[in-house]
Amino acid sequence: METADDKAPLKTGIGRWRPAGQWALLLVVSVVLAGLLELTGIPAALLMGPMVAGALCGINGATIRLPRPLYYCAQALIGTMIAESISPGILGNLLANAPLFLAIIGSVIAMSTLSGYAISRLGILPGTTAIWGSSAGAATTMLVMSDAYGADTRLVAFMQYLRVVFVAAAASLVARYWAGIDGTGPAIVWFGPIDPISFGETLAVAAIAGFLGKKLRVPAGIFLFPFLIGAALSMSGLIVIHIPEWLLAISYALLGWNIGLGFTRPIITHVGRALLPTVISILVLIGFSGVLAYILTRTLGIDPLTAYLATSPGGMDSIAIIAASSNVDIAFVMSLQTARLLLIMAIGPSLARFVAARTGAKPLP
């Protein structure tokens, strides 16, 4: 009779190590890579280093996974941190440029949907997997709906995570080598003085708003609610947001580990021949976003890096970290990213369902 142990995947590589040893290795590799990236001046090195380290460990058999509560805490803190940079003019900026913003966001959504449809029709991925995996946002919602349509949820999750990695890496490289932003910047004061009142208020906003986002089951709500509520409270002068650098670094690392550890050898093997077409579709989408960024620079006169980060498809929390590490208009970046997420939440599932139906797929009973 087959037991649960028989069904368990065979542990290989560092997966044979004890969890404590795997975490120690992940921490050491993360510190080394983050330090090297800092030396090269790559923005958001504290995110990219742990992300790459997590992927290296995952592909080499690591069995550790980031506990969900820690991931949620990191998202909430990062969202609250970004809220500090939002100016009162963000709403006016959104309304004044609403037609252009909608056209930009609609173009990104249309391109990602077309990419998924093409991969699906060519039979590169089974069923409607490519349609759900190519959606530019609301990853959790797409995973749930893809399962209802009988799609391979492992491939959908892989496509979503792979796009986040490519987008984050591309944005960091653009910031460093195209816009000339040096991520090293001034020396970081890791353990500076902490205002207990401001710090307490900040933690309270992050905890309460993040809980609301989780409880209401809003896509990316654990990041989005602290960002929006924190921005409202900060702009009104009711609180002063303060998060020490050491806590931000931990949050960045946790986010990077959560993304990186999702890349395992079985998943890479499972993807097989679909890996190259998936990478090509992501690169096409990133290039298309670059064209949209150029349009923004020509029409609104904003700097190229701000425009590129604002139009980048997906990974809102990762883009927020890169924006915070660069000399850009964070309010503009986050206004367009937030608008994209809200529009995806509103029409993304219905659009993907409509396109899936065009391929002949029907939801499971």
pLDDT for 302-321, tens place per residue?
A: 888 888 888 888 677 778 88
Q: pLDDT for 253-289, tens place per residue?
A: 998 898 889 888 888 887 777 788 888 888 888 889 8
Write phi, then psi, for 63 (nearest 5 degrees): -105, -5
Spell out the residues 6+ positions from residue 227 whose beta carbon is closer than 8 angstroms to its own.
79, 80, 82, 83, 320, 334, 338
Show the tokens assigned to 175: 């910031």
Q: Determine the pLDDT at residue 212.
A: 93
| Arithmetic mean of pLDDT, 206-234 | 87
**Which ranges of 179-235 does DSSP label H, i.e. alpha helix?**
196-215, 221-235
Residue of higher predicted confidence among 101 and 359: 101
DSSP codes of every residue in 315-348: -HHHHHHHHHTTTS-HHHHHHHHHHHHHHHHHHH
Query: Do 266 and 92 touch, CB atoms closer than 8 A?
Result: no
Q: Determine the pLDDT at residue 121.
A: 80
Q: Determine the pLDDT at residue 203.
A: 94
Q: Determine the pLDDT at residue 224.
A: 83
Q: Determine the pLDDT at residue 8.
A: 44
Residue of higher predicted confidence among 83 and 31: 31
Q: pLDDT for 123-177, tens place per residue?
A: 777 667 777 788 776 666 666 667 666 677 778 878 877 887 888 788 777 777 6
Q: Determine the pLDDT at residue 181.
A: 58
Q: pLDDT for 32-72, tens place per residue?
A: 999 998 888 777 788 889 989 999 999 999 999 999 999 99
CA distance 197 to 20: 36
Q: Determine the pLDDT at residue 158.
A: 81
Q: pLDDT for 186-199, tens place per residue?
A: 556 667 788 899 99
Longest pairwise C-alpha distance within the chain: 69
Residue whose structure tokens are 């599932």: 349
CB atoms within 10 A of CB 247: 18
Mean model confidence pLDDT for the chain: 81
Q: Determine the pLDDT at residue 201.
A: 92
Does residue 290 surpass a pLDDT of 70? yes
Q: Determine the pLDDT at residue 275.
A: 83
If we measure between CA atoms, which residue out of 216, 235, 253 comes closest to residue 334?
A: 235
Confidence of residue 102 (pLDDT cuts 50, 70, 90): confident
Q: pLDDT for 228-241, tens place per residue?
A: 899 889 888 888 88
CA distance 72 to 84: 19
CA distance 218 to 214: 7
Does residue 18 surpass a pLDDT of 50? yes
Q: Apex CA 154: angle with CA 153 and CA 160, to 5°?
A: 85
Residue of higher predicted confidence among 102 and 132: 102
Confidence of residue 5 (pLDDT cuts 50, 70, 90): very low
Does residue 244 surpass a pLDDT of 60? yes
CA distance 167 to 133: 15
